[in-house]
Structure 1
Amino acid sequence: MRRILRDNGLSIVFGLLFLGSLVGQALAGHADFINRQLAQGGEPISFGQYVTSADFAVDVAENWQSEYLQFFLYIMATVWLVQRGSPESKPVGRIGPETDEDQQVGRHAHDASPPWVQAGGWRTALFSRSLGLVMGALFLASWLAQSVVGMSAFNAEQLGDFADPLPWPEYITSADFWSRSLQNWQSEFLAIGSMAILSVYLRQRGSPESKPVGASHTITEESG
């Protein structure tokens, strides 16, 4: 058990942090929702009703879609774009999808390679792009979920104000939908850019996201 915990520490710790923060968000969101309801002369709702409501779901979905967008764009951008001196970047001379030898595919695959790499053909081609495809699919799925539950939350407010609800095609072109999306996207883009630049000049001893403490600022793709 101790070995399992050690070997899977990152996924276990961040999984627990995710669950804890999700529960915390639900509890704080429920309290805030009740305060807003009472301030507007409405009736409070139970915790179970809140966590199954569009109001809670849209907040969760808009966070998820922005995170998956961050990873999808970073995975795809780092194939072709580089940042000299950053451990988050490939060396300048390796721009692009790289050779079969670099990627250990085709005749360069070995016995320990994943089965789909050894199989060749469409399976190797698909596996070679599987991370980007899955991240892109998760982004689109969570963005679609955000648009659906966001529409429900928006229309609930519209009806409360005796205004006409919007159908889905109109909602996805509305200011509410794009405001929710863009306010999250800009923070993700800032975080990615900051990490790429700051890791050129700053260090964190022992972290694979940082270069070795004594490494030159100009060294690219070297983890410590």
Structure 2
Amino acid sequence: MARFFRDNGLTLALGAMFLGSLVGMVLTGQSAYNQELVAHGQAGLDLPAYLVSGNFLSALLENWESEFLQMAVSVVLTAMLFQRGSAESRDPDQPDRDNDVVWWRHRYPVAAWLYERSLGISLAILFLLSFVLHWWFSLLATNEDAIRHGQPAGRLMGYLLDPKLWFESFQNWQSEFLSTALLVVLSIFLRHKGSPESKPVAAPNSHTGD
């Protein structure tokens, strides 16, 4: 058991942090939303009803959407572009880190091509799925609010052009791109002993890669 926790500690710790944050989001989100409902003379939602509400699912999925976009972009761009001195980049003087190919490439070229890019493709698919679900539940949340104010509900395709949907997305996208860019640049000059996201402490700033 001790070996299991040692070998999987990073995933277990991040998973526990995710679940703790999710519970915190649910409880505080329910409380804040119910305060809003009561202010409009309506009854608050119990926990099961809140968990399937547009208010909760829209907020949840717009954040997942931005995270998957950030990871997909990071994986794909670091495969194509360089930043000399960054721990997050390949060395531009030695760009071909992966010279090995899967043994079945010549027999199944399409499958091999997909497998060689499967991480970026999977993250891109997760981003697109999250965006579509965010679009749907953001419309649901908007319609819930419209009904409270006696206004007509919107339609799915029309909502795709609504600035509210894109504001929700862009406000998260910009922060993801900023944090990724800062990690790329700060890892040129700064170190964190023991982290694979950092260059060795004694490495010069011009050293590129982990």
Q: Which position in structure 1 is the counterpart of 2:150?
A: 162
Task: Please list, as runs of the form range in 1=range in 2, the aligned pairs for 1:23-42 lying within 5 A after superposition.
Answer: 23-42=23-42
**Per-residue deviation, 1:53:** 1.0
Unmatched tracts of structure 2, length 5 or more: none
1:25 counterpart letter in structure 2: M
- CA separation in 1, counterparts of 2:62 and 2:94? 35
- CA separation in 2, counterparts of 1:4 and 1:166? 50
TM value normalised by structure 1: 0.89
C-alpha offsets along residues 106-153 of structure 1, whole Å, 9 cap, x if unaligned?
xxxxxxxxxxx2322332221101011100000000000000011111
Q: Which position in structure 2 is the counterpart of 1:88?
A: 88
Q: Which position in structure 1 is the counterpart of 2:100?
A: 104
Task: Please list, as runs of the form range in 1=range in 2, the aligned pairs for 1:168-207 lying within 5 A after superposition.
Answer: 168-207=156-195
Q: Which position in structure 1 is the counterpart of 2:125?
A: 137
C-alpha offsets along residues 150-175 of structure 1, whole Å, 9 cap, x if unaligned?
11111111121122221111111101
Task: Please list, as runs of the form range in 1=range in 2, the aligned pairs for 1:15-94 lying within 5 A after superposition.
Answer: 15-94=15-94
C-alpha offsets along residues 61-107 of structure 1, whole Å, 9 cap, x if unaligned?
00000000000011111112111100100111345xx48xx3311xx
TM value normalised by structure 2: 0.95
**Per-residue deviation, 1:6:** 0.7
Alignment partner of 1:65: what SS?
Answer: helix
Task: Please list, as runs of the form range in 1=range in 2, the aligned pairs for 1:212-223 lying within 5 A after superposition.
Answer: 212-221=200-209, 223=210
Q: Which position in structure 2 is the counterpart of 1:110?
A: none
- CA separation in 1, counterparts of 2:181 and 2:2? 37
C-alpha offsets along residues 168-204 of structure 1, whole Å, 9 cap, x if unaligned?
1111110110010000001001000000001100110
1:203 counterpart letter in structure 2: R
2:37 counterpart letter in structure 1: Q
- CA separation in 2, counterparts of 1:180 and 1:103? 41
- CA separation in 2, counterparts of 1:94 and 1:139? 31
**Per-residue deviation, 1:49:** 0.9
Provide the identity percentage. 37
1:118 to 76, 91, 103: 103
Q: Which position in structure 2 is the counterpart of 1:146?
A: 134
C-alpha offsets along residues 41-62 of structure 1, whole Å, 9 cap, x if unaligned?
2211111111121110001100
Call closer, same or farther: CA 1:94–1:151 in 2, change over 3 Å: farther
2:207 counterpart letter in structure 1: I
- CA separation in 1, counterparts of 2:99 and 2:75? 15
